[in-house]
Homo-oligomer: A and B are copies of this chain.
């Protein structure tokens, strides 16, 4: 992680509040992606559900985190790397979701191969979503 918590919030012109610090910290401590429910549980009853929703929204808008499409259409969020900027997220991104444990990985070092589209289609974002068994769940 290149920036600290307070630093990241300041850089994005966000007030430094307890909920934002805690939620951002949670993302920085977590290797994979988080669902809203994960955050709600892990932060206890400390914050209102609405605050968590709004915080996640804000983080997405600022390009601090991004949403991950999953095969089961559950909403998950993960920290963005540097190439993310507000509004415009990663153009290429491989995500892996384990069918067994549900952990979602950002495989940033895996190269997304170029896809050739029919004429008339313009690409703004390519997501590769892989489901399967992760290294911790293979026996």
Q: Give A contacts to B, CB under 8 Å.
A: 67, 69-75, 94, 96, 99, 107, 110-136, 138
Contact = CB atoms under 8 A, between A and B. Distances in A.
24 contacts: A67-B73, A69-B69, A69-B70, A69-B129, A71-B125, A73-B74, A73-B75, A99-B124, A110-B116, A110-B117, A110-B118, A112-B115, A113-B113, A113-B114, A120-B138, A121-B135, A122-B133, A123-B130, A124-B132, A125-B130, A125-B132, A127-B129, A128-B128, A129-B129
Contacts of A123: 130-132
A70 B121 CA distance: 17
A117 B138 contact: no
Contact of A132 (B70, B122, B130): B122
